[in-house]
Each structure stands twice: as C-alpha cells, then as structure tokens.
Structure 1
Amino acid sequence: MESAVRLAEQYRGGQLENIHFGHICGVDERGGIIYRAGDPEWVAFMRSAAKPFQAIPAFIHGVPETYGFTDKEKAVMTASHRAEAYHVEALESMLSKIGVSEEQLICSHTYPLSPAARDELIIGDKPKRRIYHNCSGKHLGVLAWSKEKGYALEGYAEPEHPAQAEIMDIVSYLSDCSVESIQTGIDGCGLPVYALPLQNIARMYLKLACPDLIERPEVRGAASEVSRLMNDHYEMVSAPWFICSTLLRDPNIVAKGGAKGIYCFGLRKERIAFALKVLDGSEEAWPIIIASILEQIGYDNQATIDRMYALTPKELRNDSGQAVGENKAVFELHRNS
C-alpha cells in the first residue's frame, strides 16, 4: 500500500467520507511507460478486462463464420452483458447455431445484472438461467471454437484444456510476459483469470486499439475485428447505461473493465493506453478517474469526458436529488520524459 496514491475522494457536507487508493499506468506505442500514478508494476488480475483477448482465438479459427454469427453475437463474446432482452436474444441464437445446450455452460444460474431485467423475471416468477450470467457470451465463444476444433466440450474451463492453452498463448504474446511469469486464478464464472503488471495489461490494450503493432498476422486480424465490433456494437459489451458501453461510443477508444476495480482503455489516434486498479475494488470511482485521465492528457473529445462525469457527477446528490457533497479525482499523472 505504500506505493498507492489517492485516486478519488468523496466528500459529504464538506467532510471527507471515502478515499479510493490505487495505481495508474499509461504506455505509448513503443511499450514504454509515459504516464504513472502509483506503481505501474502493480500486479492485478484482469478479470473481465481479459474478455476481448479470450475471444481472439475464436476469431483466429474463423468460428464466427463457421456458425454464422451476426456482428452482435460476435460482440457479446467480449461482453460483461447485463442480460437485457437483446443480449438474451443473441445468446439464445448462439446456443442454437453452435448446437450446444445451456446446461453445458459452467457459469452459474443467476438473474441478470440489469436491475430492470432482473425485477421483471422475479415478478414473473421466472427462474435463473446460465445465459443470464454476464460471462455467458465468453463461455459460448470457447465452446464454439472447442467444438469447431474437435476439442472436448467437457472440461473446457480447465487450465489444461487446449482452448485455455490457446488463450494463455494470446495473453502471453500480447502482454510481453512469459507464460511462466503470468499468475493465474479462477474467475467468478469458472474460467482461468490472469494477473499481470499494469504496464503489461496497458500494452495489451494498446495493441487492441492499434493492431498494426501486432506482428503475427492472424492475431492482428482477429484483434482488429474484435476491437471494431466492440465499438460498432457497444451496447452488447455491457449496456448503454454502464461505463464500458458509454466509453465505446467513442470510436477512438477501446475499453473494458473487470471486477474488483480493474479498468483498461486504449486510444487509437494518440496511440497510448492505460490500465488502472482501484484497490478497494470500487467501480463507482471509475468514470471520474477516467475523465480526469482524459483531461490531464488533453484529450480532444469533450463529449466523451462529459459522458464520464454524467456517470459519476462531481456533485454528490442524495436519493431525493439534494446536493450533499462532491466527488473528486485527486491524482496527478506524472509524465516520464
């Protein structure tokens, strides 16, 4: 904790109430660290920020074409979806096209992350389903390419499974980390999850934003398609009222967050990328932190910055709409010369 910095603070009635500590790393197209706040070597689990990269092998193998996935169905493979009706429609279509049953997914039966979709199901006394899990698109992608390649469908989440070995190869290649140096764990959905230094995660997002930096042509083509889909169908990646889809409305930005405070984004025109970790795991502070990063680097799309402040306003209001305090990003990005 000694290396962590205050990223954001929340005040109520002029009194400091909450502090969000963490780390930020920004890299340029040469892979060097150009911006920092805290420790750019902080090791963090990528959680769902890994999803675009976990989808890449399926695109390398031509799986979307094999099964005739629409662009929206392709995009949901990268998603932490909210199980809105249009998400569920795409997921059910994928199940049918792949020819697998919902019970072959290992992610748990759950209700949607969308409050409105969840409440509608509960009021209607409808059961939980596996495809309502926010990671189900990722799981369907792994099952699809496992089936296409002739891999066993059972055990598709095990680290030793060929599909997971391919994902690890992609993570290692794009992060510039050896397989042996990447720490692994099990994510909430049951698939392997990867822990890397923030600077290496930022490099992955730089290459997602700028695929021309990727030497292997098959990976470059797949990464280019994945990043295009995330922008073209931003509503599939989370939901229009959540940060990921909101940032992806900007065609210059490719972005994805994960559980427990990890967030990453790359800027195409500027050819830089950032990875940040909020150490208390908070997602609430993400928008105001990202808005401050964009302001500090002189980002020229004010509409994107304004959309971040709309998600986490500077003015803190209570449930009745009364102004009761403020949210503040308090870090300074240090630029390496």
Structure 2
Amino acid sequence: MMAVTLVEETRAGLVENVHLGMICGVNENLETSYHVGNPKHYTYYRSAAKPIQALPIFLTNIITKYGLTSEEAALFMASHRGEVYHIDGLESMLKKLPVNEDELFCPCSYPLNVNPKEEMIRQNKEKRRLYHNCSGKHMGFVTVCRELGYPVEGYWEVEHPLQQEILKIFAILAEVPIPDIKIGKDGCGVPVFAIPLKNMAITYLKLACPELISDPSLKNAVLQMTRIMNEHPKMIASERFICTQLLHDQNIVAKGGAQGVYCLGLKKEKLGFALKVLDGSEDVWPIVVAAILEQIGYTNKETITSLRALKPSIIKNDGGHEVGAVYERFSITEPSINSRKL
C-alpha cells in the first residue's frame, strides 16, 4: 500500500493520533511531479466527484433554460451544509426545475451543520431529501434525465444512460480506460468510481486547466462550471470549511469527499493534486493541503493562512488551555527521472 505518516497529533509530548495516507501531484504533461506514498493506490472519489458528475448539466443549456442564478447552479456541485442560504437556493431551484422532491434518490436527513440541524429540530421540522448534502447533485441528475429524454426512474443505477455518460466523462478526464475504473455505491446511493490517485490528480489538473481537454464542448462545460464554483464558494460547503476557503482563491479548483479524499487543481502552476487520508479523517485536510502549498512555494500566502486557521497547530482543551500540538510529517519532493512513470 505504501502509505506514509502525513500528520501526528500529540498531547503532553506523547503521540496520540497518527494519520497515514498518500499524496500525488501531477504537472501539465500528466507526469508525477510530487508524491508521498503510492500514487497508484486505487481510491474512491466520493464527493470529490461532484464537479465531474455535474458536467452533463453544463453540456446542456439547462441553467439558462430554467433561469437559474449562478449561485443556485453552484449547488449542483455542492456538499451543502444546510445553512439558510443553501436551503433557500434549493427551494428556489425546486420551483424552477422540472423536479419533484420525492423523485430524489438521496435519503431524507437533517443538515450537516449543527446549528441549522438543531434549529430544525427545535421547530419540529421533519427530515427532508432537500436537506441531504447531495440534494443539489440529485436535482441535477433528474433535470438532465428530463432534458435528454432519459427515464428518471433508476437514474441512480450504474446501467442507467446518465450514469454511463458520467462514467465516460470520468474516463476522458482521468485518462483511465472504462474497464479499469472500479465502481461502488456512494453514501447517497449513486455510483462512485475508484481510480489510481495519480489519475484523480489528472482529473483536477484538467478542471483547473481546461485547455488540456481536447473536446471543445467538454472544455467549455468545465470552464463554466469551475467559474461558478469560484464565484460562490460558500454554496459548495459553508463558512470555515476547506472547500469554501480554497475556492475563494480564484487560482484554485478544489473539492473534498468522504473518508479522507481531497483533490485540488492550481491554474497558473498547472498542477493537480489528490490525497487520501487512510483513516478517513477530514479534520486534517487543512493542515495537509497547507503543507502541500507551502512546500511547492505557492505564492498566495493568504490562502495558506486561511487553511492554517481552520486547523491550528496548537491543540487546546475545553477550557482553552494548550494541551498538545499537530505536526505534518511528510515532504513532497521532486521524484527522480525514473519515477515519473508512476
């Protein structure tokens, strides 16, 4: 597996938690420029797939046809946290799109963020499909089915023509033959794809640098989609979450997924990165991504500072007293010429 220690957390000088994982960075020639651990490790995208799963929307004129704002359209790529502005946007989309909430395959739930969840419980509101963090994605799926004449029933099955179209898009962007893509079922019930970590990095390189995409229609769809992600970062997650912090930087396209998966692409530098924290922790993403950006000499220090603020290096207890520290324990170095084929 070739995992390495990415982060250690200590308490009174004793190592309390160790987070193992892998990181891969690729350049515009699709070569491995940086890596720790095994860049060939097969990894499920989880919700890092959402921007790619949304591309069939941007290959149509759905947004213009139904009069969606760009802020609403951002919810197609979101792992929304159920804040008021998320729910307002989703409610507006339900009124505009040819979608009924009970058609969404994602389960009924409460919001992910604690405050809106507790407020709904206080108000005796029931769980809804709309509150699920993947509801925007599912609304997009149903709308695309109606737009392209696909059956809505079964849109969540891998054999459905929409999911087959998404699979083809993944294969193109990741440069992985379809037979080599492993398929599972995601938390919300739709297909989820696993490919080598290097190819996940290639996918996000192309999202950041669509000039590397040969198909003109797909290139334009990526341009429109990523522009919306950067225009409305808080719709993708919410305040004080890593996706939102990174997307405030117009040079970055980024999205995380469950179980420790994170991907980002850098436009000016023409680099794509993918990482997997093997214990599934999302808590250490900010410190890992901040360390990556520091080690490659990323010039926007404000972005790095914002990430460090999300995951301080000092651990404090409930009373605010310093009790431990967090350390990144990896170094992404330029591989030797013989390792570039990894």
TM-score, normalised on structure 1? 0.98
User: Which string of whole-angstrom CA distances, capped at 9 and with x for unpartnered residues, describes residues 12-70 of structure 1?
Assistant: 11110000000000000010000000011111000000000000011102221222211
Residue 259 of structure 2: aligned partner: 260
Amino acid at match of 1:161: H
User: Which string of whole-angstrom CA distances, capped at 9 and with x for unpartnered residues, describes residues 111-135 of structure 1?
Assistant: 0001110010011111111011000
Residue 247 of structure 2: aligned partner: 248
SS in 2 for 1:160: coil
User: Which string of whole-angstrom CA distances, capped at 9 and with x for unpartnered residues, describes residues 165-198 of structure 1?
Assistant: 1100100000000111100000000110000101
Residue 287 of structure 2: aligned partner: 288
Amino acid at match of 1:306: T
Amino acid at match of 2:301: Q
Residue 11 of structure 1: aligned partner: 10
Residue 334 of structure 1: aligned partner: 333
Residue 162 of structure 1: aligned partner: 161
Residue 231 of structure 1: aligned partner: 230
RMSD: 0.8
SS in 2 for 1:147: helix
Determine the C-alpha separation between the residues in 2 that align with 1:171 and 1:226. 15
Determine the C-alpha separation between the residues in 1 that align with 2:55 and 2:42. 23
Determine the C-alpha separation between the residues in 1 that align with 2:125 and 2:84. 14
Determine the C-alpha separation between the residues in 2 that align with 1:144 and 1:73. 14
1:11, CA displacement in angstroms?
Answer: 0.4
Determine the C-alpha separation between the residues in 1 that align with 2:98 and 2:61. 17
Residue 189 of structure 1: aligned partner: 188
Determine the C-alpha separation between the residues in 1 that align with 2:175 and 2:226. 19
Amino acid at match of 2:126: P
Determine the C-alpha separation between the residues in 1 that align with 2:264 and 2:278. 18
Match status 1:152 vs 2:144:
no
Amino acid at match of 1:74: A
Structure 1 residues 102-111 or 66-75, which shifts more? Answer: 66-75
Residue 20 of structure 2: aligned partner: 21
Q: Structure 1: where are the runs of 5+ without partners?
A: none
Determine the C-alpha separation between the residues in 2 that align with 1:68 and 1:52. 20
Determine the C-alpha separation between the residues in 2 that align with 1:118 and 1:130. 14
Residue 50 of structure 1: aligned partner: 49
Residue 306 of structure 1: aligned partner: 305
Structure 1 residues 82-91 or 27-36, which shifts more? Answer: 82-91
Residue 66 of structure 2: aligned partner: 67
Amino acid at match of 2:141: V
Match status 1:324 vs 2:323:
yes
1:100, CA displacement in angstroms?
Answer: 2.0
User: Which string of whole-angstrom CA distances, capped at 9 and with x for unpartnered residues, describes residues 231-252 of structure 1?
Assistant: 1000100001211001111111
1:90, CA displacement in angstroms?
Answer: 1.1
1:99, CA displacement in angstroms?
Answer: 2.6
State the percentage of identical aligned residues.
50
1:151, CA displacement in angstroms?
Answer: 1.0
SS in 2 for 1:277: strand
Residue 180 of structure 1: aligned partner: 179
Determine the C-alpha separation between the residues in 2 that align with 1:62 and 1:78. 17
Structure 1 segment 68-217 matched on structure 2, within 5 A: 68-217=67-216
Amino acid at match of 1:85: V
1:138, CA displacement in angstroms?
Answer: 0.5
Determine the C-alpha separation between the residues in 2 that align with 1:99 and 1:148. 9
SS in 2 for 1:240: coil
Structure 1 segment 26-41 matched on structure 2, within 5 A: 26-41=25-40
1:209, CA displacement in angstroms?
Answer: 0.4
Aligned residues: 336
Determine the C-alpha separation between the residues in 1 that align with 2:165 and 2:93. 22
Residue 279 of structure 1: aligned partner: 278
Determine the C-alpha separation between the residues in 2 that align with 1:218 and 1:259. 30
Q: Structure 2: where are the runs of 5+ without partners?
A: 337-342
Structure 1 residues 272-281 or 89-98, which shifts more? Answer: 89-98
Amino acid at match of 2:145: S
Structure 1 residues 168-177 or 144-153, which shifts more? Answer: 144-153
Determine the C-alpha separation between the residues in 2 that align with 1:99 and 1:89. 17
User: Which string of whole-angstrom CA distances, capped at 9 and with x for unpartnered residues, describes residues 78-130 of structure 1?
Assistant: 00000111111111111121232111101011000011100100111111110
Amino acid at match of 1:137: G
SS in 2 for 1:334: coil
SS in 2 for 1:52: helix
1:257, CA displacement in angstroms?
Answer: 0.3
